[in-house]
A and B are shown apart, each in its own frame.
Chain A
Amino acid sequence: MNHGPLIFLAAFFALAGSWFSFVLTPQVQVGRLDQTNTVPAGATYPVSRPGLAREGLDVYRANGCAYCHSQQVGQTGVTCDVLLTAVGTNQPALLTALLKVKPALTDAEARRFLAELPKPVLEHVTKEAADAAAKALNSTGGKAQVWIVPMGPDIARGWGLRRSVAEDFLFDYPLMLGSQRIGPDLANAGVRLPDPKWHLLHLYAPRTQVKGSMMPPYRFLFEKRRIERVPSADALVLPPELAPESGFEVVPKPEAKALVGYLTSLRADAPLFDAPLTVAEAAVESSTNSVAGSVTNSASGTNAPVK
């Protein structure tokens, strides 16, 4: 072996190169990530999970949920919709503009269209086309908005409104990203299925809630016990073939409650700068209110970053 130093150097640079690009670069990129604000509402995002949900993360991890469920929504593109919300004062001009923006409409159809507002004028167009159309409609006194609409197979499946970004996982350790999708993605499980009762039944007997589900039942997270005086408020309402004999009830153990707390806390749908998205104004209001409330409760309301 007469090229020992050369081989050493080659191996060294190969390893140093991968360390540089897979350890150092991500650290520089997102290592100091901090809470951010939603756009445009300016609410603090993310807020840390409540205690029960944080415990549920450990249950999620211990039971290997991440082997079959991912928590990352992909996005392949972004498009724009133009939404017309109000006619304004100059209906004839708006009608002309609408016919110009949507040449396929007949005059009568356009009149009917204006009677059914708010309604999308254009869907899934480029930003430039949407801006131009909104400008044309707004110049007549109508009220048109450009909506940012993320696209992709995951979003089409209803697994989320936008892609997952690093901020979504800011308070989670370890990250339960998952790589297999034997079950559906859970990044927005709390948005899609906000009912804790549904989750408890689903954990106890998946096929009662999802037909043909291949998820194994997690009955060891539940306890069958004799009813003492009054039945528990937590007892599962089971179909007859699964119900325990009379005088007994099935109640979730603390682990099951924690896990359900975690699952219902999975909401990665806030509009952020790095994952732009338009949400309905009512949703903006309610999300800012709820977040503002919870921040005040944790006595850090004044420290909320303001952009």
Chain B
Amino acid sequence: MSLPSTQIPTIAAADLPEPRAGRRPVPVWLILLLFLLLYWAMVYFDQRSGWFDQNVYIPFTSIQEVAKFQPVLSGADELILRGKQLYSANCAVCHMENGIGNPANGCPPLDGSEWVLAPGPARIIRIVSKGLQGPIEVKGTVYNTGTMLAIGDAMPGDEKQKSESIAAIISYVRKTFGKNASAVTPEQVLKVREEIKDHSGYFTPDLLKGVPETP
């Protein structure tokens, strides 16, 4: 009591009770500002987020806009491209991406093959639709051991979709390996498939030779 409190403020402060936060209401303008911010954020989100789709990047703001800017091909190019994809998935295992075939496994080449180069697609449609078995002569060599499965019949979808897939494959094969031989339309394929719909089992080269090349 003898010392004035100003000389030892630390002790005096230590005696004070811990400060307590009061309850002042949040100002109305702050609440309004927060709601305004929230509204702006919602509008921004709605207009520019693309709903967090992984395919939407700036400068695009929605998946519809991205879709709008996809490059398009003309119909014929699209058929060839689709054929290329189907060929890679179904045919390239044996015939190879570059069409040289796999003679060691009895799989004939497509590149320059007279069956591919044929003036009309009647025979190749049959082969792709129902498969092939038996010795086949290609470019002067007889290939014997392999069996080609009925790739065309195994295509997904109904008869019309199957025909489109087969037309795509054959168009691609004839364009790429057949020195730009003419493309095949789905209608041509559908017509041939109608003729052979009762055929069971694989085609053989002898059977095929009985079919005229141009349908």
Contact = CB atoms under 8 A, between A and B. Distances in A.
Given A1-B18, A78-B69, A127-B68, A42 B56 contact: no
A42 B85 contact: yes
Interface in B50-99: 52-60, 66, 68-73, 77-78, 81-82, 84-86, 88-89, 92-93, 96-97
A29 interface: yes
B89 A276 contact: no
Q: Give the contact-size bracket for chain A.
A: 35 or more
Given A42-B85, A277-B71, A29 B54 contact: yes
B71 A39 contact: yes
Nearest to B59: A77
Contact of B97 (A39, A274, A292): A292
Interface residues of B, number: 32
Chain A interface, DSSP helix/strand/loop, else mixed: loop
A46 interface: no
Interface string B29-55: 000000000000000000000001111
Contacts of A302: 88-89, 92-93
Contacts of A276: 66, 69-71
Contacts of B56: 274
A296 interface: yes
Contact of B52 (A25, A166, A275): A25
Nearest to B55: A274
Given A39-B70, A274-B66, A301-B97, A75 B58 contact: yes
Interface string A92-134: 0000000000000000000000000000000000010000000
Interface in A125-171: 127, 146-148, 152, 163, 165-166
A163 B57 CA distance: 9
B20 interface: yes
Contacts of A278: 71
Interface string A254-297: 00000000000000000101111110010000001000110010
> Which of A76, A146, A304, A306 has the most chain B CB atoms inside 10 A of its CB?
A306
Given A40-B73, A271-B71, A277-B71, A304 B58 contact: no
Interface string A18-55: 00000001001110010000011110000000000000
27 contacts: A1-B18, A29-B52, A29-B53, A29-B54, A40-B72, A42-B81, A42-B85, A76-B59, A77-B59, A78-B59, A147-B71, A163-B57, A166-B54, A273-B55, A274-B54, A274-B55, A274-B56, A276-B66, A277-B71, A292-B97, A296-B92, A301-B92, A302-B89, A304-B88, A306-B85, A306-B88, A306-B89
Q: List the 5 closest A-B pairs by CB distance, nearest first.
A: A274-B55, A278-B71, A276-B69, A42-B85, A306-B85
Interface of A: 1-3, 25, 28-30, 33, 39-42, 75-78, 127, 146-148, 152, 163, 165-166, 271, 273-278, 281, 288, 292-293, 296, 301-302, 304, 306-307
